[in-house]
Amino acid sequence: MAAQTKTRPRETSPITVSYSDSISLVRQQVQWSPKGVSLLTKWPFTVGSEIEFAFDHQGERHCCSGVVVACRPLRKPANHFETVLYFVETPCGETQKAASDCRLADEPHSKKA
Structural domain contains residue 95: yes
For residue 16, the model assigns a pLDDT of 39
For residue 18, the model assigns a pLDDT of 42
Domain count for the chain? 1
Structural domain contains residue 47: yes
Structural domain contains residue 65: yes
For residue 103, the model assigns a pLDDT of 73
For residue 25, the model assigns a pLDDT of 63
Structural contact between residues 98 and 79, judged by C-beta atoms closer than 8 angstroms? no
Which domain does 61 fall in, by range?
22-101
Structural contact between residues 86 and 35, judged by C-beta atoms closer than 8 angstroms? yes
Averaged pLDDT in 10-residue chunks for the chain of 113 residues: 42 43 65 87 90 84 90 89 92 87 63 43
Query: Sign of the CA dihedral 63, 18, 76, 26?
Result: positive
Q: Which of 1, 2, 84 is nearest to 40 (CA)?
A: 84
